[in-house]
C-alpha cells in the first residue's frame, strides 16, 4: 500500500452564481521517500491541492491518507515551505527554526533541541546568520530558513508550494541544490508545486501534470528515470532530458486543452 | 589596517567580537531619528564633516523657522494681554508669566522698568533667596524654608520631652517619665502638612497618570486580544465599548469617587496615597482605556494570515500562539494605541485632578484660578506650558517604544 494517497480530492467554493469547482477527482499515490513535482499552468489549482494536503484549506470532496491515516487539519507531520518564506520577522533565524523544533521534540532537552537547530542551519548554510532577523537576510537566505524550518520538524511529508518562485534564476539553482542535498540525506516523501519544467525534471522522481481549471485533475504522469544523486550538467546533456522536456511542454501547450474537452 | 573616520560605512565590518566603536554619523543620525530627536541629526553629520554646508543650512532652517513662529506667537500674546482686561484680572503678559516662573527678574539682569510689571509689589526679596514667594520657584523656596523651620522646632520639642522624661526616670518618678515620653513620641510622629510645591505637584501628576495608564493597559490589552481573536466576544462587547468611549472624564468622576471612597480606607494626611489620587487615576484609566483596546483588537484581528498558517502547521497551543505569534505581530498597533492612550490620559488628568482635588497640576491650576489675580493667572500660563511640555515628553517616550517594537518589514 502506498504511503501517501489522495483519493478523489476536490475543492468547491460556493458563490452567488453557483458552485465554483476548482479541483475535482484528483487521485495520486506516492511511495515512501518519493519526490513528486506537480506541474501546471498558473491558477489551475495546484496550490489548492497542496494546501488541502497541508490541512490549511478544507477538503470539499474525497480524502487524503498519509501513513495509513486520514489527515485532519494542519500539523507538524507535514512540513510546509510556502512561496513567501513566512518567517516571523520579530524572531531570529535560530528562533524561527526553534519554534517548530520545540513543538515536535517537546520531550528533548534544550541542548538536544539546539543541536537539531544547529544541524539544519548548517545544512542550509546559515550558521553565520543564525542570530540575524529576517529583515537582514536576502530573499534566498530567507527561503533557506524556510527549508531548514520544514526539515527540522522531521515530518512524514514535505510540502513545497513554489518555494523558489520568487527568486532569481541563479539563487534558484543554489536553493534547488540545497533542497536536493538535504532531501538526499533524509529521503522525505515530498510533494512540490512548480511551474518550472527544468526544476521539475531535476528534482522529481515523477512529475504530475494537472489539467487546466476549473475542475482541474491529474492529466499525465511522467516518470523521471535519472539516477540519484543527479548532476545538473550530466542530465541536461542526456538525450532523455530533451524527451522529458518535450513531453512536458507538449502537454502543457497542447494536451491540456484536449483533456479539457474530453472531460 | 588603518581605519578612517568613515570606516563604519565599509560593508565587511560585521565580524562579531571585533566590533570596535567607530563614529558613524549616518548611524548616529539614523538612531537620533528613531528616538524622535531628528532635530539633532544634522549636528551629528556636521561633527563628522558630512556635507557641512548642507547641514548648516538644515540646522538654520530647523532652528530659525520655529523661532520666528514662536516670536510671532509671543507678539500676538502680548497684544492680547494688553487688550483683554476685566475689573480684577487681565491676561498676563509674556513677561509677567516669565516672572511667575522664576520669581525674579532674569538672573544678572535687572529689569529696566520693574514698575511696568503689574501685580509686582517688591522687585527683590532678600528674605527668600531673592524670590517672590508668590511665584512658582519662590513658593518652592519658601516652602523648603518653612518645612525646615518646622522640622527643627519639632525636633527641639522631642528632645525637650525626652530629657524631661530621662530626668524624671532618674529621680524615680516613673509615672511622669512615662507621660513625658508619651509627649515626645506624639511630637515625633507629627509631620509637616504644608502645601505641595509646584514640582511635587508635577511628580504627583505623573504618578497619577502612570497608575491610571498601567491599570488601563492591563485591562485593555487582554480584552483587546479577546476581541481580536473571537468575533463572538467582539460582537458581545463592542456596543459597550462604543457607548463608553466618548464619555467625558467629568461624567465618570462622581462614579469613580463613590468607588474609591467605598474601597479605600482614608490614609494618614501626610501619605501620598490619598483617595483623591486614586479617584483621579481611576478617571484617567476609564478615559485612556479605549484607544489601546480598539487598536489591540484591530491589531490582533489583522495578523498576517501567513503567520497564522505557521502557527497552524506547527500546531501551537493557544498560549504559545498568542505569546509567540499574535502579540508580537500586533505590538506595533498596540503601541500606537498606548501612545494615543497616554495622550488622552494626560489631557484628562488635569480635569480629573481639579474635580478630585488630587495634589497634581490640575489642583495647582484650580487653586491659582481661585486666587483670581493677574499674577496667579500668570502661574496658570506657566502651568499650561509645563503641562504641554510633559505631555510632549510622554508622547516622545511612547513614540520611541513604538519604533523599537516595529520591525522593519511587517511581512516577510
Over residues A236-256, the pLDDT tens digits come to 888 899 999 999 998 888 877
Q: Who among B313, B329, B331 is closest to A54 (CB)?
A: B313
Cα-Cα-Cα-Cα dihedral sign, residues A150, A154, A160, A166 = positive
CB contact under 8 A, A90 and B316: no
DSSP summary character for residue B37: -
User: Which element (helix H / strand E) includes B313?
Assistant: helix B305-313
Closest partner CB to A88 (pick from B313, B325, B331): B325
Q: pLDDT band at B130, cuts 50/70/90?
A: low
CB < 8 Å to B306, chain A? 82, 84, 86
Please, what sign has the CA dihedral across residues B391, B394, B396, B399?
Answer: negative
Q: A82, B411: Cβ pair inside 8 Å?
A: no
Residues in A touching B334 (Cβ below 8 Å): none
For B310-324, how does the pLDDT look when each residue is reduced to its tens digit (9 = 90+)?
A: 898 888 888 999 999
Contact A135 B313 (CB under 8 A): no
Distance from CA of A103 to the nearest CA of B (A): 7
Contacts of B408 in chain A (CB under 8 A): 89, 135
In a domain, A162, yes or no: yes
Residue A40 located in a structural domain: yes
Residues B326, B301 contacting (CB under 8 angstroms): no
Q: CA angle, B8 as apex, B2 and B10 as ends, to 5°?
A: 80
Length of chain B: 412
Interface of B with A (CB under 8 A): 306-307, 309-310, 312-316, 324-325, 328-329, 331, 407-412
CATH of the domain at A206: 3.40.50.300
Res. B17: pLDDT tops 50: no
- The residue of chain B nearest to residue A138, with distances taken between CA atoms, is B412
B358 in Cβ contact with B280 (< 8 Å): yes
Kind of pairing between the strands at A35-39 and A206-210? parallel
Of A74, A82, A99, nearest to B306 by CB-CB distance is A82
Domain interval for residue A24: 4-77+155-262
**Segment B186-228, tens digit of pLDDT:** 888 888 877 778 888 899 999 999 999 999 999 999 999 999 9
Say whether pLDDT at B93 is over 80. Answer: yes
The partner residue sitting opposite B412, judged by closest CB among A56, A79, A85, is A85
Q: Which helix (H) or strand (E) holds B404?
A: helix B374-405
Residue of chain A minimizing CA distance to B329 = A90
Domain at B198-405: CATH architecture? Orthogonal Bundle (1.10)
Question: What does A132-145 look like in DSSP terms, one character per residue?
Answer: --GGGS-HHHHHHH
In contact, A54 and A4? CB cutoff 8 Å: no
Number of domains composing chain A: 1
Query: Nearest Cα to A30, choosing from A189, A186, A202?
Result: A189
Q: Is A253 within the bounds of a domain? A: yes
Secondary-structure breakdown of chain A: helix, strand, coil percentages, each rounded to the nearest 5: 40, 25, 35
| Domain coordinates in residue numbering, chain B | 18-83, 96-194, 198-405
Report percent pLDDT > 90 for chain A.
Answer: 49
Of B40 and B159, the one with more pLDDT: B159
> Interface pTM (ipTM) of the complex?
0.83
How many angstroms from the chain centroid is the CA of residue A193?
Answer: 5
With beta carbons under 8 A apart, name residues in chain B contacting A56: 309, 312-313
Nearest 5°: the CA angle A165, A167, A168 is 120
Considering only residues A20 and B285, tell me which one the structure prediction assigns the higher pLDDT: B285
Cα–Cα dist B259/B278, whole Å: 10
- DSSP bridge pairs for A207: A37, A222
- Euclidean distance between CA atoms A57 and A236, whole angstroms: 37
Min mean pLDDT across A212-221, B113-122, B291-300, B318-327 is at B113-122
- Read off the pTM: 0.78
- Cα–Cα dist A163/A83, whole Å: 4
Q: Which residues of B touch A82 (CB under 8 A)?
A: 306, 309
Residues B213-272 have pLDDT tens digits of 999 999 999 999 999 999 999 999 999 999 999 999 999 999 999 999 999 888 877 778
Comparing alpha-carbon positions, the chain A residue that sits nearest to B306 is: A86
Q: Residue B204 and residue B390: Cα distance in Å, rounded?
A: 13
Q: Which of B11, B15, B306, B314 has the most A C-beta neighbours within 10 Å, making it the best mutation to test the interface with A?
A: B314
Smallest Cβ distance to A84: which of B306, B312, B329? B306
Option in B310, B315, B408 nearest A135 (CB):
B408
Single out the residue of B319, B259, B309, B313 nearest to residue B283, CA to CA: B259
Q: What residues are paired with A20 via a beta bridge?
A: A13
CB contact under 8 A, B313 and A87: no
Residue B250 C-alpha from the chain's centroid: 21
- State the DSSP code for A226: P
Amino acid at each position: 500500500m502506498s504511503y501517501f494517497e489522495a483519493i478523489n480530492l476536490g475543492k468547491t467554493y460556493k458563490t452567488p452564481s453557483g458552485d465554483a469547482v476548482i479541483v475535482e477527482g484528483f487521485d495520486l499515490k506516492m511511495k515512501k521517500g518519493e519526490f513528486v513535482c506537480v506541474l501546471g499552468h498558473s491558477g489551475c489549482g495546484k496550490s489548492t491541492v497542496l494546501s488541502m494536503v497541508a490541512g490549511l484549506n478544507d477538503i470539499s470532496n474525497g480524502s487524503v491518507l498519509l501513513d495509513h491515516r486520514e489527515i485532519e487539519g494542519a500539523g507538524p507531520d507535514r512540513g510546509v515551505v510556502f512561496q513567501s518564506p513566512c518567517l516571523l520577522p520579530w524572531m531570529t533565524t535560530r528562533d524561527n527554526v526553534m519554534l517548530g523544533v520545540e513543538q515536535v521534540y517537546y520531550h528533548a532537552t534544550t541542548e538536544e533541541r539546539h543541536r537539531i537547530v544547529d544541524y539544519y542551519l548548517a545544512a542550509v548554510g546559515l550558521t553565520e546568520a543564525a542570530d540575524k532577523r529576517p529583515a537582514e537576510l536576502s530573499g534566498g537566505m530567507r527561503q533557506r530558513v524556510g527549508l531548514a524550518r520544514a526539515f527540522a520538524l522531521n515530518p512524514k511529508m514535505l510540502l513545497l508550494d513554489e518555494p523558489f518562485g520568487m527568486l532569481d534564476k541563479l539563487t534558484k539553482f543554489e536553493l534547488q541544490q540545497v533542497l536536493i542535498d538535504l532531501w538526499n540525506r533524509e529521503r522525505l516523501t515530498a510533494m512540490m508545486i512548480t511551474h518550472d519544467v527544468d526544476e521539475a525534471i531535476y528534482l522529481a522522481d515523477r512529475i504530475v501534470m494537472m489539467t487546466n481549471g476549473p475542475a482541474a485533475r491529474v492529466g499525465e504522469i511522467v516518470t523521471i528515470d535519472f539516477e540519484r544523486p543527479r548532476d545538473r550538467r550530466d542530465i541536461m546533456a542526456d538525450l532523455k532530458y530533451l524527451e522529458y522536456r518535450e513531453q512536458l511542454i507538449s502537454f502543457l501547450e497542447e494536451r491540456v486543452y484536449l483533456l479539457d474537452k474530453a472531460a | 589596517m588603518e581605519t578612517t573616520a568613515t570606516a563604519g560605512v565599509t560593508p565587511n565590518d560585521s565580524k562579531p567580537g571585533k566590533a570596535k566603536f567607530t563614529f558613524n554619523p549616518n548611524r548616529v543620525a539614523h538612531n537620533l531619528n528613531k528616538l524622535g530627536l531628528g532635530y539633532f541629526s544634522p549636528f551629528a553629520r556636521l561633527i563628522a564633516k558630512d556635507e557641512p554646508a548642507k547641514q548648516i543650512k538644515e540646522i538654520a532652517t530647523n532652528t530659525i523657522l520655529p523661532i520666528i513662529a514662536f516670536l510671532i506667537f509671543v507678539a500676538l500674546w502680548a497684544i492680547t494681554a494688553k487688550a483683554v482686561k476685566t475689573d480684577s484680572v487681565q491676561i498676563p503678559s509674556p513677561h509677567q508669566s516669565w516672572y511667575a516662573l522664576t520669581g525674579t527678574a532674569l538672573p544678572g539682569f535687572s529689569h529696566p522698568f520693574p514698575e511696568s510689571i503689574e501685580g509686582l509689589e517688591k522687585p527683590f526679596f532678600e528674605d527668600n533667596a531673592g524670590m517672590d514667594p508668590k511665584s512658582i520657584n519662590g513658593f518652592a523656596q519658601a516652602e523648603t524654608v518653612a518645612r525646615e523651620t518646622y522640622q527643627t522646632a519639632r525636633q527641639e520639642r522631642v528632645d525637650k520631652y525626652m530629657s524631661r522624661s530621662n530626668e524624671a526616670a532618674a529621680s524615680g518618678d516613673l509615672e511622669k517619665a512615662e507621660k513625658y515620653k508619651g509627649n515626645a513620641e506624639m511630637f515625633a510622629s507629627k509631620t509637616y502638612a504644608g502645601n505641595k510645591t509646584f514640582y511635587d505637584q508635577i511628580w504627583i501628576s505623573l504618578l497619577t497618570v502612570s497608575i491610571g495608564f498601567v491599570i488601563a493597559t492591563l485591562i485593555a490589552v487582554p480584552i483587546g486580544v479577546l476581541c481580536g481573536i473571537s468575533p463572538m466576544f467582539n460582537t458581545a462587547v463592542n456596543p459597550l465599548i462604543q457607548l463608553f468611549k466618548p464619555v467625558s472624564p467629568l461624567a465618570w468622576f462622581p462614579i469613580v469617587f463613590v468607588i474609591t471612597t467605598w474601597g479605600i480606607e482614608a490614609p494618614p494626611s501626610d501619605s501620598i496615597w490619598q483617595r483623591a489620587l486614586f479617584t483621579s487615576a481611576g478617571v484617567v484609566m476609564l478615559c485612556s482605556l479605549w484607544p489601546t483596546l480598539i487598536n489591540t483588537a484591530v491589531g490582533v484581528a489583522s495578523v498576517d494570515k501567513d503567520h497564522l498558517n505557521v502557527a497552524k502547521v506547527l500546531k501551537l497551543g493557544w498560549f504559545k500562539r498568542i505569546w509567540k505569534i499574535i502579540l508580537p505581530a500586533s505590538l506595533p498597533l498596540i503601541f500606537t494605541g498606548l501612545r494615543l492612550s497616554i495622550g488622552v490620559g494626560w489631557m484628562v488628568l488635569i480635569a480629573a485632578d481639579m474635580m478630585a482635588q488630587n495634589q497634581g497640576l490640575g489642583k495647582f491650576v484650580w487653586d491659582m484660578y481661585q486666587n483670581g489675580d493677574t499674577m496667579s493667572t500668570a502661574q496658570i500660563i506657566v502651568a499650561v506650558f509645563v503641562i504641554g511640555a510633559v505631555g510632549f515628553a510622554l508622547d516622545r517616550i511612547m513614540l520611541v517604544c513604538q519604533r523599537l517594537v516595529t520591525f522593519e518589514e511587517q511581512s516577510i
